[in-house]
Structure 1
């Protein structure tokens, strides 16, 4: 490193002298050699940058006062508000209020807390009316577990095990709710049975052994039976310990419950008015906090010692975070982390302000980044690193730019991905995400200067691994190879766009408007230099904006200059260039790509080819496999298989339809693992060569912080990527980025806890919602679906999180849905069985009736025809009989008449 600094110092000295000789140094320019000698070890640091999205009444919350939050097993977020219960899937807020459509009673109106029973798919909701409501999570209906539920009041509750609940309080004794058999079985423990309606304590050793304490008795509920194990004492604290139960009474007597027997174990010498406020177990010590002192009880010997020093914490109360760590607070503004047998104090409140609130209401979680978040009631939100040595404080502001809406926070949880959810008083819920811990941001001219002095227009890596950075304010910074130190700085009256180290020790600096600095004997003034490249014969190729391509070659008396494409519209604006391993110069211009075999071109200026003339190419690189990659602004990223000179290059275009974050590509750089990092005018995309997929990132919550510039991307020797943009430098450590991929399984949020639904014929136009429940990437998720039995093909991928069908015929259908996140990787397919009942007139019963009716009609018709035929036959027979009779009587008459005639 020492030799590289010396080399750069010498280079800058030569540059300074050449600038002085040429008379082109800008006004106020500082000698870079001097600054290089006076180098300073400025260690660059970065605070955590976060982005936040708020969920409020405008998004569908029933109230902006959210007292409790939790994420269920499926992934939904549940919010307990002052106006009902709400479920959130990242797209839609579903509310559970007091009305006939939800089937939820008024008991759920002002909710305080909710607890999920995963096994039995029930959500128990506690309201401010001191009542507990059971919500069936499958159908969203309330389940009545007791006829007296509207009359009973309980202040405390505990889920002993899945399917078994205990409720207790100071008015109505206690109640056991057992629904492990599939139906609710309740048992009241009222004054008639336990001698008191006041139950201050219930604790459990396991699901079969529960300790119930009244104001003067101790009961053990074991295997369905209740036993009184002590009388005449009131317990104030209990603590399960190694299949035993430690207890302390209000008089200071310490008891231990083992094998169903309660034995006096020790004694704490309370003074008058001294009561226990909190406790915790530390190995074999039981720490007991009172309103005046602290005590340590050895659970093996019963020895009691009064705590001193840091452990003397009057009014101590204990919190447990989501990782099981213990924290102690006592209304002094100090929060203490218990670390082994020591305490790590954090002063979060000025002590004088604690008199104006009840308790500090600390809530603590650790997120998936390993950061510790602490919410307070009155002092906003704190975030700490693991060892609590670094912190950041978020407070609400008038402009609404803070991640929290109020400093009075009511709760905080960490979700399963990388988000933190904070509820604030009257401000709804904030979803906070750390932009990324694998990213640092450097502001060359200091973080407070949001002007041209921090807009980076050029980033170049030098031969020794150090990095040169040019800003739009004319400053040129020289950083160490690890970007931890600024080795030098110079100022020019024109922006620096290119820098190249020559074999002879010269450092050529190209500027926009002032030509080339650092090249002795070269007259190249007043040119808009955009890029430079030196070929194998030490000739310099210079791309200018408006003056075409220039070739600078050494002569005895200095340098000679040739220019090309001056009058070619588009080609005369050369923005970038690179020379491949075959000695071919590739120039990216505002009018496409130029391929120049340099040795042939020097002899014959017609020996070049142009491609993709309708592309404006902002950057061009050659990767480790010899392929070209072009940044085509507005058209995306272009991969070029260059061919061998005889075969034509092949072009492959990647854009937003392939997963690119934005088509306005600015710069591209490859890393040793074969991946690409692509900066755009709004966001960054990483091309994963192994997965052949894109991963998109927004590293700033401010849109301007996601704007990057052309000619401003390099890969450091340690594998980190440096991108220049409107907000300084973004340094990316790819191995530490927490990109969530593959977590795109779809949940049908309209019917979340069932894989099959049955709809009536009147409901045959369903609108089915779905979500990935990945709250970190909801806006970038795309869905496609197909209704088997109705659709012929998959739908066009869209961010619309629902599928709507109109007037489906009765029958069975399978709705297939899959989703992909911003990286373009599709997740697993989810399937929902949809059965649509036919109308009554098409049901089997109706068909049977129709068959019976048809059969009846046929029978009637047959009977009618038969009867008519019978009648016709009868008539015919009667007519024949009549005719026969007539003939007979005629013949008889004739016979009688003939003799008479003879007579």
Structure 2
């Protein structure tokens, strides 16, 4: 009851067709899911009542025999109670089973056996003349076996004929005994047919039994026997495995328990027992088998070491004794007196004699280190011999068959004859109190793990120490192991398992296992490598097995883990060895542990992941009855949530899991997540602000002790909010279309109004262009040009005069042509600018040079721009910048284009600059030019209002200066939006 049972009396354990397990107690009917007892509110009518028996019909309904209530039916939603005739008292239904052929119930009571026809609720006795109290009913082949209360007889009957037959307990009962059975078929027939039999407990004790329950799986069958001892009813569970019948109750210490029911869940090996006043007992089929010191005959003495010899024997020593085991049975033992008699001629035997370690040399002879020196032991001949040499707390045989011994903080080499070797001696400080945890010799190297100094290596006749200071290896090491690929595996008390490589007289940690890889516990010990490529080790919290091939960076480690709930109760394991069957034997403080590593022999059951609960915004989700499965109370897929139920927490678990702490989960919401979550012992999946849509929740559960991964998926739908439904969208679209129509009408009205204003502004632009044309044909330019022509004529330079006159006429013609156009091509603009610059160059007697550059990305024939916007800026550069130079001038015109088609014209001259120009030209000419620039600015403003497409017409003027701050010219940048 301290674990959640409503009562410590369990009358029946039943698994229905859905895989749900039910417990019949004297406090009601409850669902059992492995580590938790669930109460169903629909069964509240039976809470506190005694439930004697459970069965299920073909429709999946549960039928219950409830003391003081009557016959009950539960369909997952509703509990129905049926009133029976007076022939069967309502408080006296002891057992019931289903007739699978006729869909009728067979009831057992104090008044005999009855048939209850479900369809017409008719109750009839099987035999009206037979009215004896019934204890149990079970089906066998086509018949039913009835056990009476007083065990006076067994009854066998058929449903159709309603016949009963009795068998007296004193007439020629068959005999059954424990041990190997020669005729297994005959034995099973005796146990399962319902006949009474005689069971031989031992040579002097026999009991009369009948079988009241039986449970079977692939490997074994269990039978619950009933017998009477001095008129007291008792039970015994026997186990039939292969051809061996064993007393399971005695083996498991159950002889004093009153057992009501036994149960094997489908696909599981663990036997569950319902008792009277002792609750529910689980007998786990574990890979861990223990031999206590008391069973081995060891008293008040700790186990020291163990090994497996070539004959498959396990040899172990305590401080005062050597024991030889074969299949967990003690074959022989040597006491301290046997050891003392072998060296009594050398030294006196006293209570200080202690046994430390075991080892094997190349001749497979067992060596035993003690406080007085070494002994050898030959198991087959049972021969013990004293060798001497030196005492040793620990030792190892080298490749050249010498002994490296550790004694009193000193490492020394000896020959088998007891001579000190020529190899060096390594001595620790006297006050260091060094502890050696493991010594390994292979090839030319010896590896020693210590509990204070890390790893000591002996190689090339030299000792080296590797630890945290030089190799990032923990100083405290409980165990090391050298693998076939020469990799060292080590573990200490820091929760790490190191993978170490030896490289150029150094040790390099190439990887390590931590809690991130699933390692639980801090103290590592007992590292073993098996022939199947698996690594085993113990921690202070359990036992690990993982595939060594999967231990690599950026790969998932394949592992198993067992803790106390899986049968591993002793976390103080130290030394361990592997026997010929690849089982691991572990020496703990006061007992011996055998680990049967063949995990393929373990159960491989099909467990399922189920959703235990759902929370919305930290509140329990309350679905209606149509969204939940009747029996399991789990949501029916697809799970549908409202649009505002999008902060969801799912809690899931594995059904009938007895070790929840050994389960890891990860999840992915397909359609929302991009990758799986990390493996975690948390069983929750949390999603916040989940958008509307259809998803699939995928969950994987990994049961570490079973080494299986269980998949699960369920469809999830978050409903679309009403404002995103089709009818709302359609209605909104109609309203929007109406609004758009009205808005477009209003917009068109304002467009027409704006076009009138734009036409007015455009006409103003045309006027400004004409004014600009007139201003550009200023009399100074014409006068200066005509003077230049006259000068060429007077100088009789007719060719220059004619050329200048021709160019002058072309400039005037271009001005007039372009003045009548809103936009011209860049090609035409460049042609005009070239004529203008050539004319100005001739007029100024080639005082300046010019160059026009066009970016290769520009097509000058397709690009359009307003005419005569660039010329005023060129005229400004020549008249007021270059004209004031005492040296020749230079003028550059560059055209660049941006990605969006924005054209930039950059004019650069090396003139005197704007400040000097103002000083030199304080006359009407500059005032006239200022008027020209004012008109140009007005043109740009109007163009931005009438003709721009997002970018604007613009210009900037920047003075250029040299490093001394003196003017070195002017830069003008003019911008033209794409036409």
> TM-score, normalized by length of structure 1?
0.58
> 1:407 aligns to what?
257
* Matched ranges for 1:508-527 at <5 A: 509-511=368-370, 524=390
**Is the 1:403–1:432 Cα contact (8 Å) retained in structure 2?**
no
Q: Give the equivalent residue in structure 1 for 2:936.
A: none
What stretches of structure 2 of length at least 5 have no aligned partner? 131-136, 146-151, 176-183, 227-231, 340-350, 377-384, 551-556, 614-632, 746-979
Q: Residue 713 of structure 1 is aligned with which of 549, 556, 576? A: 576
Q: Is the 8 A contact 2:648 2:688 kept in 1?
A: yes
Matches within 5 A, 1:89-488: 89-98=33-42, 111-116=51-56, 122-128=61-67, 129-136=69-76, 141-142=77-78, 159=98, 187-188=119-120, 198-201=123-126, 278-279=155-156, 289-290=165-166, 293=168, 308-310=171-173, 337=191, 343=197, 345=199, 362-366=212-216, 370=220, 372-374=222-224, 379=234, 382-386=237-241, 389-393=245-249, 407-415=257-265, 416-436=267-287, 440-443=289-292, 446-447=295-296, 452-453=300-301, 455-461=302-308, 467-471=314-318, 473-477=319-323, 485-486=331-332, 488=334
- Alignment of 1:620 onto 2:480: yes
For residues 756 and 793 of structure 1, what CA distance do their matches in structure 2 show?
Answer: 22
CA displacement 1:667-725 (0-9 Å, x = unmatched): 2333444444434445433445578733344689887645311xx22223454432211
Partner of 1:670: 529
How far apart are the structure 1 equivalents of 2:330 and 2:205?
Answer: 39
Aligned-pair distance for 1:830? 0.4
CA gap of 1:340–1:403, structure 2 versus 1, over 3 A, is closer
CA contact 1:408–1:424 (8 Å) conserved in 2:
yes
Contact 2:154–2:168 (Cα < 8 Å) also in 1: no
Which one of the candidate residues 460, 480, 483 is aligned to 1:599? 460
Which of 694, 698, 711 matches 2:559?
A: 694
SS of the aligned residue for 1:613 comes to coil
Measured after TM superposition, the shift of residue 278 of structure 1 is 0.7
Question: CA separation in 2, counterparts of 1:276 and 1:460?
Answer: 55
State the distance in 2 between where 1:482 and 1:421 align. Answer: 26
Q: Does the Cα contact within 8 Å between 1:412 and 1:422 map onto a contact in 2?
A: yes
The answer on whether the counterparts of 1:637 and 1:654 sit within 8 Å (CA) in structure 2 is: yes
- Measure how far apart 1:414 and its partner are: 0.8
Deviations 1:778-797 (A, max 9, x none): 33112222334555654443
Q: CA deviation at 1:587?
A: 1.7
Aligned with 2:445 (options 584, 604, 610): 584
How far off its partner does 1:816 sit? 1.7
Per the TM alignment, residue 72 of structure 1 is displaced from its structure 2 partner at its CA by 3.2
Q: Distance in 2 between matches of 1:694 and 1:478?
A: 33
Identify if the C-alpha distance between structure 1 residues 127 and 856 changes in structure 2 by more than 3 Å, giving closer, same or farther. Answer: farther
| SS of equivalent to 1:771 | strand
1:748 is aligned to 611
Q: Deviations over 1:217-256 (max 9, x none)?
A: xxxxxxxxxxxxxxxxxxxx999999xx999xxxxxxxxx
The offset of 1:418, in angstroms, is: 1.5
Tell whether the 8 Å contact from 2:695 to 2:717 is kept in structure 1 after alignment: yes
Cα distance in structure 1, aligned partners of 2:663 and 2:398: 46
Moved more, 371-380 or 614-623: 371-380
Matched, 1:779 2:661: yes
2:13 pairs, out of 69, 85, 96, with 69
Distance 1:686 1:476, change over 3 A: same
Are the structure 2 counterparts of residues 353 and 531 from structure 1 closer, same or farther at C-alpha, using a change threshold of 3 Å?
Answer: closer
Structure holding more helix per residue: 2
The structural deviation recorded for 1:73 is 4.0
Change in Cα spacing, 1:326 to 1:752, as seen in structure 2 (3 Å) is farther
TM-score by length of 2: 0.54
Residues 1:724 and 2:571 are matched in the alignment = no
Change (3 A) 1:836 1:90: farther
Q: CA deviation at 1:861?
A: 14
Tell me, in whole angstroms, the C-alpha distance in 1 between the residues paired with 2:480 and 2:683: 38
Checking the alignment, whether the CA contact within 8 Å between 1:785 and 1:794 is kept in structure 2 is yes
5+ residue gaps in structure 1? Answer: 1-55, 178-186, 190-196, 202-212, 217-236, 248-274, 295-306, 313-322, 329-335, 397-401, 867-903
Q: Against the structure 1 CA distance between its residues 576 and 543, is the aligned structure 2 distance closer, same or farther, given a 3 Å change threshold?
A: farther
- Match of 2:29? 85
Please give the secondary structure, in 2, of the residue aligned with 1:779. helix
Change (3 A) 1:392 1:440: same
Report the CA distance shift for 1:562/1:277 in structure 2 as closer, same or farther (over 3 A): closer
Contact 1:88 1:94 in 2 (8 A): yes
Distance 1:502 1:735 in 2: 29
Write the deviation string for residues 825-870 of structure 1: whole angstroms up to 9, x where unpaired. 451420122334567x6695xx85797699799999999xx9xxxx
- The verdict on how the C-alpha distance between 1:524 and 1:214 changes in structure 2, with shifts beyond 3 A counting, is closer
Contact 1:158 1:167 in 2 (8 A): yes
Q: Separation in 2 of the partners of 1:665 and 1:487? A: 32
1:850–1:486: structure 2 CA closer, same or farther, 3 Å change rule?
same
Instruction: Flag the 1:822–1:520 CA change in 2: closer, same or farther, 3 A.
Output: same
CA distance in 2, matches of 1:611, 1:862: 80
Q: Secondary structure of 2:498's match?
A: strand
Where in structure 2 are the equivalents of 1:36-51 lying within 5 Å?
A: none
Report the Cα distance in structure 2 between the residues aligned to 1:649 and 1:371, rounded to whole angstroms: 54
Task: For 1:674 and 1:803, locate their aligned partners in 2 and report how far apart those are by CA, in whole Å.
Answer: 35
Aligned partner of residue 393 in structure 1, secondary structure = helix
- 1:231 maps to none
Residue 638 of structure 1 is matched in structure 2 by: 498
Contact 1:198 1:215 in 2 (8 A): no
The question of whether the paired residues in 1 share the 8 Å contact of 2:55 and 2:62 is answered with yes
Counterpart pick for 2:512 among 649, 653, 677: 653
Distance in 2, Cα, partners of 1:108 & 1:163: 33
Q: CA RMSD in A?
A: 5.7
- The answer as to whether partners of 1:368 and 1:417 remain within 8 angstroms in 2 is no
User: In the alignment, which of 637, 640, 665 is matched to residue 758 of structure 1?
Assistant: 640
Question: 8 Å contact 2:154–2:196 — kept in the other structure?
Answer: no
Return the index of the structure with the highest Cα Rg: 2
Measured in 2, the distance between the counterparts of 1:425 and 1:108 equals 16
Three-state SS of the structure 2 residue aligned to 1:747 is: strand
CA contact (8 A) 1:367 1:414 kept: yes
Q: 1:162 to 1:722 in 2, by over 3 A?
A: same
**2:609 alignment partner, SS class:** coil
Alpha-carbon distance, 1:532 to partner: 1.6
Which of the pair has the greater relative contact order for Cα pairs under 8 Å at 6+ separation? 1
2:544 aligned with 1:685 = yes
Superposed displacement of residue 820, structure 1: 1.0
CA distance in 2, matches of 1:463, 1:827: 38
